[in-house]
Amino acid sequence: MKRRDFSLAAISAATVTSLPLVAIAQGPVAAKKPIEGTDYLSLDKRVPTDVGAGKIEVIEFFWYSCPHCNAFEPQFAAWKKAAPKDVVIQRVPVRFRDDFEPQQRAYYVFEALNMVDAMHGKLFNAIHTERQQLNTGAALAAWADKNGLPEKKFTETFNSFGVASKARRATQLQEAFKVQGVPALGVAGRFYTDGSLTQTMDRALQVADYLIGEVRRGR
């Protein structure tokens, strides 16, 4: 989903789920060397990464109410699980509008409480399969309470300084990578790709693999 689509006033989750998807995979993709400017972009200014020497950071930019991100999640989770040891994968929730912030903070609540594995997929499912409207802090807290995370604990963490700081940092990363739509991938603080550039998110992962290799070779 392109960023310009999010500028429309008050898009509900139900409306978003009716929008056409960027293809996640359309059968085998012919192997070809990714082209800079076509399949991926090099950043004008490198973004500092939070990983140590010898490690390569890959960021997935996403939004819980985005149908593209929901469709991509199982594929990305499998790719993340199979990633080499020198690749450090981060998820970063975007904030294209102010009303994205509750879901942005929700991810960092899960992270702070070591509950990403338990809650991340469930929230996608609640929004896109069960069609729940979970775009406010109160709605998210009530939903969390029904799914094993006490409402009081969720709310305390949601309103904490640490979660607020991580949400601000996520928005800064989104702007630094010039994210144009989600899902999108940032590699090593230097490269950006998404489904609009590559035509499918399957191809975007292939491009990410290529860029990881380029970084290893000292590019």
| C-alpha closest to that of 114 among 71, 84, 157, 151 | 157
CA distance 54 to 70: 31
Q: Could you read off the pLDDT of 172-188 as tens digits, one per residue?
A: 999 999 999 999 999 99
Average confidence score pLDDT of the chain: 89
CA distances from 174 to 25, 88, 104, 117 (A): 25, 18, 12, 23
Q: Is the pLDDT of residue 101 over 50?
A: yes
SS3 category, 85:
coil
Residue that wins the pLDDT comparison between 197 and 22: 197
Q: So what's the pLDDT on residue 31?
A: 63
Q: Report the pLDDT averaged over residues 113-139.
A: 98
* Count of Cβ atoms closer than 10 Å to residue 204 Cβ: 28
Q: How do the domains of the chain map onto residue ranges?
A: 36-216
Q: Report the pLDDT averaged over residues 60-85.
A: 97
7 Cβ neighbours under 8 A, 6+ residues apart: 96, 97
Q: So what's the pLDDT on residue 2?
A: 60
> Is 36-216 assigned to CATH 3.40.30.10?
yes
Q: What is the model's pTM? A: 0.88
Amino acid at 113: L
Q: Report the pLDDT averaged over residues 37-62.
A: 95
Q: Report the pLDDT averaged over residues 15-36.
A: 54
Q: 182 with 107: CB under 8 angstroms?
A: no
pLDDT band at 3 (very low <50, low <70, confident <90, very high): low
